[in-house]
Structure 1
Amino acid sequence: MNIFYDYALGIIMGLSIAAPPGPINAMMAHESVKSSFHGTAVGAGAMTADFIFFWVSLFFKSLIPQSILVIFYFIGGAYMLYLAYGVLKIKGFKTTIKGSYIKGLTTALVNPYQISWWIAFGIPMLQQFSIFIAPGFFTGIIIWIFLFPKLINKIGENYVVAVKMFSFVVLLAFGIYILYQGIHAIKI
């Protein structure tokens, strides 16, 4: 019975990292206007990063220093500003599905909030529950990365400019905020 509880809780935890507004969902929305496969590819890239973070957290949970995050604030913030600029400047869609996947993977690997999520929630999740939480966790992410792009693709064709501006604003805001957090972390 605990296995089913852990699996169901894992789905909720997977949705908790995948569904909130942020840079990955902004990129998924932007890419989904072209096709839902492009949006799903961005999400699959981010899920690959979560898979990497899962294994790092599982095996090295006691060795990850909190101070390492400061580096990711600057790398992640600068990268998100670059992505925001790219969203604003793009005239058409030039990325392949592979390119969308790489964009999702690289963004997630340097995203301090995703890294912080794993330190703050991922490690305790792995310490408190059985390993059966992992399949549920990735099921929750898979549900999101397929449903969200389908929805955006259905409504997005009518609102291409709105989706583009939403993606730009979210990426710009997160980029600035993450850089601010990095500067603030150095002062402490």
Structure 2
Amino acid sequence: MQTAVSLVAGVAFGLALAAPPGPMNAVIAEESVLRGWAAGARAGLGAALADFVFFVLALLGVVAVVERLTLLRAAMVFVGGLLMLYFAYGAATEARASYTEADAPNEGKGFRKAFVLALTNPYQILFWLTVGVGLLEPGTVDVLAPLSASLADVFVVRTGSPALLVGLFVGIGLWVTGFPAALTAARDRVDALAPAVASLSALVLAGFGAYFLYDALSVFV
């Protein structure tokens, strides 16, 4: 029973990590509506691979070391900001061209784009420094106990368990495949969705890129 609870909790954590709006989902959305489900899923897998890299680095303690090296972290964030601005320009160009899956160049760059951006995304690093480290350390969390004494031991999650970690990546996998499917289905019903999503993707990437550059440069000021 506890294994099943930990698995469900892991799926919930994975969805919580993958679903919030941000640069990764902007890339996935752009690839999905311009090039179809497979391209969107590949972009999602690129972001998921970066999470797996952070997972391994967290196990080895490297993520914590990077966070303590202020200049290295600032350099990573700065590079990430530049990349986001570059990809924002590309998304804006594609939005003006009003590509659809039939005529958009299927260059297969979504995987690499999302992977590189995710590796320089301070929010993902922060997740693995905080929540991620907590998930890896052996222990138990009685999720419902703080709400009421009568709910104690009803939903106990075993951190550090294989079931929790498997569930985490299952949740990420559900999002990076289901999100592109939903966008592709919606695009098929609304012809104007592709350029609109590409424009929104450009705005999101530009906004995060500018913020990351500001965050990185503030270290040196």
Q: CA deviation at 1:140?
A: 0.3
Where does residue 125 of structure 2 map in the other structure?
A: 115
Q: Which has the higher helix share?
A: 1
Where does residue 38 of structure 1 map in the other structure?
A: 39
Q: CA deviation at 1:147?
A: 0.9
Matched, 1:96 2:110: no
Q: Is the 8 A contact 1:84 1:167 kept in 2?
A: yes
Could you tell me which of 160, 178, 187 is aligned with 1:130? 160
Matched, 1:74 2:78: yes
Q: How many residues align?
A: 186
Structure-1 separation of matches of 2:135 and 2:65: 15
Structure-1 separation of matches of 2:54 and 2:26: 21
Where does residue 150 of structure 1 map in the other structure?
A: 181
Segment of structure 1 superposing worse, 171-180 or 100-109? 100-109
Gaps of 5+ in 2: 140-158
Segment of structure 1 superposing worse, 70-79 or 123-132? 123-132
Q: CA deviation at 1:63?
A: 5.1
Where does residue 6 of structure 1 map in the other structure?
A: 6
1:135 partner amino acid: V
Where does residue 91 of structure 2 map in the other structure?
A: 87
Structure-2 separation of matches of 1:175 and 1:54: 24
Distance verdict in 2 for CA 1:186–1:121, change over 3 Å: farther
Q: CA deviation at 1:95?
A: 3.5
Partner SS for 2:130: helix
TM-score (structure 2 length as normaliser): 0.78
Where does residue 174 of structure 1 map in the other structure?
A: 208
1:12-23 equivalences in 2 (<5 Å):
12-23=12-23
Structure-1 separation of matches of 2:76 and 2:106: 25
Structure-2 separation of matches of 1:144 and 1:177: 26
Q: CA deviation at 1:61?
A: 5.5
- Structure 1 stretches of 4+ moved >6 Å: none
Answer with 1 or 2: which has the greater Rg: 2
Distance verdict in 2 for CA 1:100–1:55, change over 3 Å: same
Q: Is the 8 A contact 1:156 1:163 kept in 2?
A: no
Percent pairwise identity: 34
C-alpha distance after superposition, 1:87-127 (max 9, x if no partner): 11133432434x22112211111222222221122112212
Q: CA deviation at 1:62?
A: 7.8
Segment of structure 1 superposing worse, 23-32 or 4-13? 4-13
Q: CA deviation at 1:54?
A: 0.4
Q: Is the 8 A contact 1:61 1:123 kept in 2?
A: no
